[in-house]
Structure 1
Amino acid sequence: MSAAKCKYGDVESVELVDCKYNEQLGTLSCPQPTKRLTRRTSDQKASRLEMDVHFMRDDGVSKKKTFVVEYNDSDESDEPLMGKEKQPGTPTVHTEQKVGRKREWARFVKKALALTLADLIGELIGTFLLTLVSCSIVASAVVTGAQSGLWQVAIVVGVGVTLSIYCTSHFSDAHLNPAVTLAFSIVRWKIFSWKKVIPYILAQILGSFCAGGVVYGLYQHAIEQYETEHDIIRGTNASVITAMVFGEYFPNPDLFDHTQEKNLAVVSIVQALIVEAWTACILVFIIFCFTDKNNTAVGSGSDKVAVPVLIGVTVAILISLYGSLTQVGMNPARDFGPRIFAAIAGWGRIAIPGPRQGFWVYIVGPLFGGVVGGGFYDIIVSNVLRLAKAAKHKSMVTTSCKLED
């Protein structure tokens, strides 16, 4: 008589069964369990059954061995179960289940990380390109004098925005702007999760910070020469003219000398905040309008290839209209990332918090304006258009019915 402990998943049964063990072949033969074992999934028909068998040899030595057999609870046969001794290192049923669950979880995490990483890389690269173009064109205009007029700067920035979106839209949502990210998470939360907001914004700021570093590395000697020729000491109020290469200031230092108090009165902090909120409101409103699935004027579905161009044109127009007042940031990441680098590179308080402690204007204004612009389109304009379309359709059906009568 041998005592066998039969295990299957979470179910265990202990029975005394008459087993025949062939020590030379290492095989075990025992009858079917009298109690049918239950399973979690009814579609499973067979599984490996492990039995820990205690037996007494003829010489009186007690031993314990583990045997593995294939067990089928749907089989009503009385044929004995045949098994072989389990080899060292062979995983148990529980171990295999745990390994399976770990592999499934690993695949899920790997997939989630891959998608998230792609989003973050897209936002980082896109914002890097956008900021690189924006800061470089300002440096070219202010420090070297290669550009003349606000429109030359504005159109290059607009093209930079367009190219950045085209380059990264297959990586992520190509927001490239915390104001756009926040607006989508609040207004269009069904298609863009709020859980992505912080990672997106951090990636955007990191990308713009790196771009600021590249611009400084390329224009460092030109900036230093400009400061020397104009007797500008970096970190003083006069150095705002070179600091504007990285961050935005009000009024535009290239048009208004900040060393003269009267020029500062041209744009107050409140006015600057309103301008930044207003321009971001227009930008996000237009983005929501262009990306509306019901707006087929610029294409339908994923075929809206003209949208990046139109967004870039919008940015260029807004800069040309209001750039003389606040330089028109509309993008907290594009302003704050390079501003951090400028603070490290020697501009100090001129970069953060700014000569008028107004760096926050370029963060709060666009974030607030972006949400308002997106909300105004989706909540008011889009719903009004939907109601008008439904009323027009109903009117056409009624007219058709009357003509038939």
Structure 2
Amino acid sequence: MSYPPDSKALHRHSGSASNSSTKKGENMHIEDTESPAEFEAKHEYYTRYPNRWSRIRELLREPAAEMLGTMILILFGNGVDCQVVLSANTGVSPTPKGDYLSLNFGWAVGAACGVWVSGGVTGGHINPVVTLCLAVFRDFPWWKVPIYIMAQIIGAWIGAMLTYANYFHAINIVENGERTVPGTASLFATYSLAYMPAANSFFDEFIGALALILVVFAVTDRRNGPPPPGMVPLVIFILILGIGAAFGMQTGYAVNPARDLGPRIMTAMMGYGKEVFTFRRQYWLWCPILGSVAGGLVGAFVYDALIFTGDESILNRPNAAARKHHAQARHEERQKPPAGNYEPENDIV
């Protein structure tokens, strides 16, 4: 990012005499030996990095944005789960505080706000499925993928831990100080209903993630009527509200491995034990993680195969014949004389 140099500072610098000033005991010198180009470069550097923390922040900014965005998602999502479910117990609240619609609104608000927090820095992935699909189909740098995913899991863990601390006493009242799986563990991570077979649980997450990525790819496709700048969080709100209303009952619609894994690790640490991972033969792996990833990749493939025309996608890369043609066209373009250098031949008058 380039910043214009300070014209007054440049004017002072161009003087022939050496200037120095003292402020709060510090001597600040402008060296006459610097060229204007060197001074301008230094000015740009110190404008971008006014102190040491600004340099550190630039290294942390992207993973921090993903971490905070995912933390916001879980704060609202796990928070509304706890409030609605725990308040149904009269020992916690005299009247219930919410219903299934409240759950969907809470998760939708969390997703929208999470995207808003991180969107200007990273685009607002807050979901490993989104990050992975962008790497496969949109040239997102692969070296950033593990960094983003780790940041998302950490953010989800922090959000779940804060929510657990907030509702700790209510959970104790509901479970008499015990910790059961799924029980109150399902307030934080996802667990399918008892009647759901493994294949159907996988498919439930698969179809939810497929719908998620289809819409995410559509809303970020500048050739397909994208929303105005700043409106993407609103679209995400509507999208998550719809997925929850349509596919939330049977598995809790994780559609986001970090949203499930971070809180699941938290519950294992807070007394729920290893059963959160052994539940129904490693349900945590094949449903909220593999089901979501598979659905997302298929959704991305379907969108790019049928709608997307940009050359960022691996499905739209030119083949050998097209590459040869474009190379020949570029060669012929370079052979043309530069515009404005035409010299007419001598005419016979």
Given the two structures, how large is their TM-score scaled by the length of structure 1? 0.59
Residue in 1 that maps onto 2:168: 220
- SS of the equivalent of 1:174 reads coil
1:338 corresponds to which of 260, 263, 266: 263
Q: Distance in 2 between matches of 1:297 and 1:202?
A: 29
Q: Distance in 1 between matches of 2:135 and 2:120?
A: 19
RMSD: 2.2
CA deviations over 1:287-336 (Å, ceiling 9, x no partner): 0000001123523xxx2x22211112111111111211101001100110
Given the two structures, how large is their TM-score scaled by the length of structure 2? 0.68
Residue in 2 that maps onto 1:117: 60
Shift of 1:216: 1.0
Structure 2: unaligned runs, 5 residues or longer:
1-44, 89-95, 311-349
Residue in 2 that maps onto 1:141: 84
The equivalences for 1:4-403 within 5 A come to: 115-145=58-88, 146-189=96-139, 192-228=140-176, 233-235=178-180, 239-251=181-193, 264=194, 266-299=195-228, 303=229, 305-360=230-285, 361-383=287-309
Shift of 1:212: 1.2
- Structure ID, larger Rg: 1
Q: Distance in 1 between matches of 2:182 and 2:226?
A: 43
- Identity value in percent: 28
Judging by fraction of residues, say which structure has more strand: 1
Q: Match of 1:285, as an amino acid?
A: L
Judging by fraction of residues, say which structure has more helix: 2
Q: Match of 2:295, as an amino acid?
A: G
Aligned length: 252
Shift of 1:353: 2.8
Shift of 1:171: 2.4
Structure 1: unaligned runs, 5 residues or longer:
1-102, 252-263, 385-405
Shift of 1:113: 6.8
C-alpha spacing 1:222/1:128, structure 2 compared with 1 (3 Å): same
Shift of 1:383: 3.8
Contact 2:172 2:178 in 1 (8 A): no
Shift of 1:365: 0.9
Which runs of structure 1 show a deviation greater than 6 angstroms over 4 or more consecutive aligned residues? 110-113
C-alpha spacing 1:285/1:115, structure 2 compared with 1 (3 Å): farther
Residue in 1 that maps onto 2:342: none
